[in-house]
Every structure is written in C-alpha cells, then in structure tokens.
Amino acid sequence: MSARRLMLHSGLALAAAALAGAGVSPLPPVIAAEAELIHSSSVRYRCPGGERVEATYFRLRDRSLAFVRLKLPDGRLLTLPQLASASGARFSADRDVTWWIKGQTGFLQQRDSRGEWQVSLRSCDSAS
C-alpha cells in the first residue's frame, strides 16, 4: 500500500474513532417505553399434507413494527417482519421465504433454485 493511501485510510479510521468516542450517532436514541413488545397471538396451522406451521405474532406497542416467529415443518425457526399487503397480511424479509395469512388460512412461499417464488405450503388452516 502506498504511503498516501495508508495516510488516507489512517485518517478515515481516526475520524471514525473520534466520532464513535464522541458519542455521535446518525440515529436518535430509542426510548425503552416506546419499544415495548406485545405478544399478539400464537397460532398452529395444519396444512393439507399433514405439515404443521407454528406462528407467534408480535408487534411493538406503538405499532411501528409487527413480525411473526415461524416454526416450519422442517424445524427451521424464522423471524419475518410484516410488510404492506393489499389483502390479509404478508411477512417476509424478501429473501427466501414469505408467509401469507388471510382470515384463518396461511400459505408459505419459498424461492426455487432460479430465484422464483413458489408456494411450498398452501391452504394451511389454523388449528388453535
């Protein structure tokens, strides 16, 4: 690395350290009372093939965030934020899995090897 480049990297590192040490943050602090977590409900879904999905729904008291904690039939545990949906509710990190619910029914979409969304569990009815 050239001396000029080394000085530039060192200067950037020092500036970052100074800002961190000074307590400068681009985000305002979160007040604990505003971030209170509410457990909305726990639902067990039974799919036509016998698969079961366990969903626990949460939201923040100020309703700024809602999410679901899923236990899938293969044992995976996923936490997915709620996203805008025209009808029902959609939970996804828009990566590999999306959980949709409408009324008492849910279905799961997963990306295939080409990256296309495919329904992997459909018509899963709430059992509780």
Domain with 50 in it: 32-126
* Residue 23 located in a structural domain: no
Strand partners, 83: 90
Q: What is the CATH number of the domain that holds 94?
A: 2.40.128.200
Asked whether residue 110 is domain-assigned, the answer is yes
Looking at residue 86, its pLDDT comes to: 86
The per-residue pLDDT for 25 is 54
Query: Looking at residues 71-89, what average pLDDT do you find?
Result: 93
Domain count, the chain: 1
Q: 26 in a domain, yes or no?
A: no
Predicted pLDDT at 80:
97
Per-residue three-class SS string for the chain: CCHHHHHHHHHHHHHHHHHHHCCCCCCCCCCHHHHCEEEEEEEEEECCCCCEEEEEEEEECCCCCEEEEEECCCCCEEEEEEECCCCCEEEECCCCEEEEEECCEEEEEEECCCCCEEEEEEEEEECC
Better pLDDT: 21 or 89: 89
